[in-house]
Amino acid sequence: MSFFFVLISLGLVWFSRHSLRNYRSHGFYRFFAFEGVVALLMLNHPYWFDNPFSFRQMISWTLLICSVCFVVNGLNLLRIMGGQAHRKEMPENLAFENTVHLVDVGLYRFIRHPMYASLLLLAWGAFLKHMPPLTFMIALGTTLFLVATAKVEEKENLVFFGPKYGEYCTRSKMFIPFLF
């Protein structure tokens, strides 16, 4: 198991290599959130099908399914509505992150960060599979890194999109529709 964690971590380091050089980019913090999610998945994978119809497992599966829906919907909307252009001021960004149009339809109408929300749901869904203190601490740390990621990205978006993004922030939530 630790071999796979190291292997996946090396892949994440390569994927995040540009962001890891700049602690002011949202990708820097996202890397640590990814690491937390991978740790939770690796630690809890033996428990995924224990008592499959227990209340805890049903909540876990609901979170995991919502996680998939959030990321698929978020990526699709960015691709269709966001457009793309290279951002000289943010070389750390991945290509799909460099949208030129503010996307505020679909799931983005309610939350600003559906893909980070997806990771949040994935982390807590994996945590619920087996809940010793270590996995709770990892899930909590992952949550904090996702909040930091979103906060830094929002600062970047305010610079790029201007007051229009600030107005969008007042009418949408960060991760969970109508709540947070």
pLDDT in tens, 127-177: 999 999 999 999 999 999 999 999 999 999 999 999 999 999 999 999 999
**Is 59 inside any structural domain?**
yes
Percent of residues, the chain, with pLDDT higher than 70 = 99
- The predicted model scores a pTM of 0.94
In a domain, 178, yes or no: no
Report the pLDDT value the prediction gives residue 54, as an integer from 0 to 100: 96
For 111, the domain range is 28-170
Domain count, the chain: 1
Assigned domain for 12 exists: no
Nearest in space to 159 (alpha carbons), one of 96, 72, 88 = 88
CA atoms within 13 A on the CB side of 30: 27
